[in-house]
Structure 1
């Protein structure tokens, strides 16, 4: 018997029992679809994270003192403006470095009030964080140097205090200090926004000198910066922490964070989730393979008389083996193809809903096809061998 004839016979047999064929393929379909969908969604998620990183800048970092139970040691480690200037001079790889001080306070305007995080920083802040200005502008270098009493608020704070009105030029009271609104920042959607804490992401930004007047404090909570090259990030952070410890006479009292750590955390989470779902998919594929073997054994029992008749008219063992093996392979490969289509469709739908780039994995699809073929061969061989070894006389007597 030729391969073509054996394949035709296998397809005819599977079409004869359509419901049983479909149910048998179900385990393979679910397993393959899960593998394709998980890999594609995972790749899309990583690409989305990289896009967020590019918005923020992959070379950004934040330096801040570690928390300490010892008050004296904690006071010694407090950052200053002089620290910022020293690091700028000592580290030529640093493109931008600026101070940031944060305090929670109430803002009041026209008998309306709202609480927000008041950030004292420099005119370079908006550019460093890649923040877009929705209305007006961010404060200038001249306003920073002159410690002008100006403030830039975020969109949520503008909505709370001014509603549909125009906030530009309005005067707000911060800790009884009047400040003029000169700008409104658009909502921060970058990955770097996680470094900010506060109720409902409400923030107001003032020149650092103005912040010290408002809160009567000269402390610097953190130093935010960027290197010229991403490759310099680790060495700059290491050098900066060493310089700060030397300046303050401390030992390992400073910590740093950067956007790359977000990616590492996301990668770990993605790997864990992929492993868990991959295990479920593997179990589903195993169950599907066992289902194929069971159905093929049932098929051999049902068709014992047919096998005996074929052998009696000259069919060889390899002909019987080939036909039953092809049936198992067709079941597995067809289930794999349906699973690939379902997995790709599910992944593309999820990517569209999550607004992630749809990234199909060629190796995952290749794995799906290869695994389907392997399942057919592995789980179909034993039933096919049982069919091939039936004695013609015994098979013809079977009722």
Structure 2
């Protein structure tokens, strides 16, 4: 019997028992669909993280003292303006470096007020943090040098204090000091927004000297910067921490944060979730394979007389073995193909709902098809061998 004849016989038998074949495929379908969906969603999630990195900048970093914000911490550990200037001179690979000094306070306009994080910084803040100005402008180097009482606010602050009105040119009270609003920043969508202290998107930005005068403090809570090249990031952070410790006479007092740490954490979580769901999918495939073996054993029992008749007419053991193996493989393969369609569709739908890039993994599809065939052959071999080993006379006498 040729391979094509065995295949036609296998397909004919499956058509005869459509419901049973469909139920047998169910475990394979669920397992393969889960694998495809998990891999595709995972790849889309990683691509979405990379897009967030691009928004923020893959070469940005934040330096800070480990005791920042702690009560009774030594003043000598605080970052300073001089630290920033020293790092700029010592690290030519640093493209830009700005200070960020922070105090939690209240902005007031007439009878309205809002709790915000008030940040003292320099004009380079908007560029370093890639913040868009929704209206007005950020303060200039001249305003920084003159310690002008000007303020840039976030959109949330503008909506709370001014509603539909125009905030530009209006005065707000910052720690009992009137400051003129010169700009409104658009909402911060970057990954760095999660690292900022204080209420998200409720910030006010002052020239650093103005902030220093208002709060009678020369401390710097953070140094935020970027490197010329992404490859320089880790080395720059290491050098910067070493220089800061030398300047302050400390050991391991300073640390840094960058977006790549978020990516590493997200990738770790993704791998864990993928492994867990992949394990569940693997169990489903094993259950599906056992289902195939069970149904094929039932099929062998039901077709014992047919097997005996075929062997009496000259069919060889390998012909019987091939036909039953093909039936098991076809069940598994069809289930795998349906699983790929279901898994791909589910993953693309999830990507659309989550607004992630829809990425289908070709290697996952090839692996899924290969694995479904392997499952069919592995779990179908025993029933097929059992059928092939039947003696013709015993099979013909089977009731």
In the superposition, the TM-score normalised over structure 2's length comes to 0.98
* Residue 21 (structure 2) pairs with residue 24 (structure 1): no
Structure 1: runs of 5+ lacking an equivalent: none
- 1:164 is matched with 164
Cα deviation, residue 159, structure 1: 0.9
Q: Distance in 2 between matches of 1:274 and 1:79?
A: 42
Residue 312 of structure 2: aligned partner: 312
Alignment partner, residue 393 of structure 1: 393
Q: Deviations over 1:276-323 (max 9, x none)?
A: 111111111111111100100011011111111111222111111111
Closer, same or farther: CA 331–70 of 1 in aligned 2, 3 Å: closer
| Partner secondary structure for residue 87 of structure 2 | helix
Cα RMSD for the two superposed structures? 1.4
* CA spacing shift, 1:68–1:115, aligned 2, 3 Å: closer
Change (3 A) 1:69 1:52: closer
The unaligned stretches of length 5 or more in structure 2 are: none
Task: Give 2:148's aligned residue.
Answer: 148
Distance in 2, Cα, partners of 1:51 & 1:70: 34
- Gap change, CA 1:312 and 1:70, over 3 Å in 2: closer
Query: What's the CA shift string for 1:203-225, capped at 9, x where partnerless?
Result: 11111111112212111101001
Q: Once the 2 structures are TM-superposed, how far is the Cα of residue 72 of structure 1 from its aligned partner?
A: 7.4
Contact 1:68 1:74 in 2 (8 A): no
Label 1:103 to 1:69 Cα distance change in 2 as closer, same or farther (>3 A). Answer: closer
- 2:266 & 2:351 partners in 1: Cα distance? 17
Matched residue, 2:245: 245
Q: Which secondary structure does the structure 2 equivalent of 1:398 belong to?
A: coil
Deviations 1:52-98 (A, max 9, x none): 11111111011100128997763221111011001101111111011
Distance in 2 separating the partners of 1:68 and 1:260: 22
2:211 corresponds in structure 1 to: 211
Q: How does 1:1-399 map to 2 (within 5 A)?
A: 1-67=1-67, 74-399=74-399
Secondary structure in 1 aligned to 2:74?
A: helix
- What is the total number of aligned residue pairs between the two structures? 399
Deviations, residues 17-56 of structure 1 (Å, cap 9, x unaligned): 1111111001111111111111111111111111111111
Cα separation, partners in 2 of 1:204 and 1:304, compared to 1, 3 Å: same
Q: Report the secondary structure of 1:201's partner residue.
A: coil
